[in-house]
Amino acid sequence: MCIRDKHCKHGMHSHAGNQLVSVTSAPGFAASAVSSGVRGEGVLDLALVAGVVAGVMDRTVRTGATVRTGPTGPASSAVPSVPTGPADHAVPAGPAPLVSCVSPMACAGVFTSNLAAAAPVQVSREHLVRSKGWIAAVLLNSGNANAATGRQGIEDAERLCDEVACLLGVDASQVLTCSTGLIGIPLDMERLVPAVSQLAPALASTPAASEMAARAIMTTDTIEKHALVTAGGFVVGGIAKGAAMLAPNMATMLALLTTDALVEPPLLSAALEAAVESSFNHMSVDGCTSTNDSVIAMASGRSGRTPSIDELTEALSTVCGSLARQMARDAEGATKLVDVTVTGALSSAEAMVAARKVAGSLLVKCSLNGEDPYWGRVVSELGSAGVGFDIEKVSVSYGGTVVCRGGVAAYHDEEAVSRHMAGAELEITCDLGLGDASGSVVSCDLGHGYIDENRGTS
């Protein structure tokens, strides 16, 4: 299995070279993005990703669509007409847009556990049920979370889905919507509705289109987040956003995955849930759980390959894992990506509780930001985690160098530890010495930038 991801702000090597890996890499998908003006004129803040059947490259855009019941179902023989004359939309110079028929694809979603779930989360959950997991498009906007906006927020989210559905010629229940941004502020529908009409004509199956979509969902992110896996005759691509309110059980994050695997919604749903559990649910930046967390996966079936549940889960997990690490690395104010691993626990559940306790400790995070291997804070967190613990059996290491053994300081190579602490990626391993279970969490340090970003409304 080959994983490719986007360059990160700390210079992580990308196996993709200059070619962006993208959500449109899986055959059967197109993307577009525009500026509605919500985040400022010219700032991309609205994106659309749609499932498409056989495409035709053309210089004229048509906005009609045929609909089929799923990847294995027959497409309608009706072909949308191509507008002619003055009404034609002239496409700017550059890659020609993809002109094709939009089609519902197998789809699955995992959403926030926050009981204050935002309107788009509520609407998308309902649409997945009503459509029985066959979705044609996902609309994403940034700058406004449409959370804590009451009944009006639900109606606005439904209207945006209706607008997309009319443009693509599908049922509104076959459109999902995701939002990210400020909480408690109604959507600016006077800006968003006209902007939505620009998305369908701009749909394209190009890396550039995917990059624009990834950029449109950014809020306090500093980079777009992409990942791509090729595995056993099918591919999985993904884009995501997230830089704060990142905690176990997902985060302030949106992630959209696409694959050309030939699968039904129940299999895709099971695989996605397992992938999220092993990736996004093992990430923590600030311990806060968002109102808008959404991870959505769509499958076009274009590869003709039906992977096993294990194969699909592994591929989805690899993409989700890469995106999760990119989020932690790009966290607000962060200077270091941190892997916290707990071994020797009595159970996997206890190992995860202990790892999360250490990863979420503000004192530990501050030490990491100061490049101080203060293992005493780590031991203190382990002892208060509420799991099996015997201080005389505990050891702590930084970058593979043991600094605490049996609950007391251990002689070690201080220069080796200092070199490790000065790096952009840190590893903390805690051995409880009680059992065989282990667990790990991806996290980061706590820098001044986090406070600067969050001391006001952001």
Write the DSSP string, 421-442: HTSSEEEEEEE-SS-SEEEEEE
Report the C-alpha gap between 141 and 348 in whole angstroms.
Answer: 37
**CB-neighbour burial class of residue 150 (10 A; exposed 0-12, middle 13-18, buried 19+):** exposed
Give catalytic residue positions: 252
Name the residue with tokens 């293992």: 375
For residue 15, pLDDT over 60 is answered with: no
Distances (CA, A) of 374 to 214, 238, 366, 427: 38, 37, 10, 13
Strand bridging mode 425-431 / 337-345 = parallel
pLDDT at 83: 26
Report the C-alpha gap between 47 and 55 in whole angstroms.
Answer: 20
Q: How far is CA 100 from the centre of its chain?
A: 27
Report the C-alpha gap between 229 and 129 in whole angstroms.
Answer: 28
Question: Higher-confidence residue: 444 or 438?
Answer: 438
For residue 44, pLDDT over 90 is answered with: yes
Give percent of the chain with pLDDT exceeding 70.
79
pLDDT at 330: 82
For residue 209, pLDDT over 80 is answered with: yes
- Mean pLDDT over the full length of the chain: 83
Please state the pTM of the whole predicted model: 0.80
Element (H, E) at 349: helix 348-360
pLDDT at 252: 56
Report the C-alpha gap between 339 and 162 in whole angstroms.
Answer: 43
Distances (CA, A) of 321 to 49, 68, 229, 253, 431: 21, 32, 11, 13, 24
pLDDT at 289: 58
For residue 286, pLDDT over 70 is answered with: no
Strand bridging mode 175-182 / 225-231 = unpaired
pLDDT at 92: 35
Q: What domains, with CATH codes, occur in the chain?
A: 2-71+95-329 (3.60.70.12), 337-454 (3.10.20.340)
pLDDT at 20: 54
pLDDT at 101: 81
pLDDT tens track for 46-81: 999 999 975 533 322 333 333 222 333 323 322 222
pLDDT at 10: 32
pLDDT at 427: 98
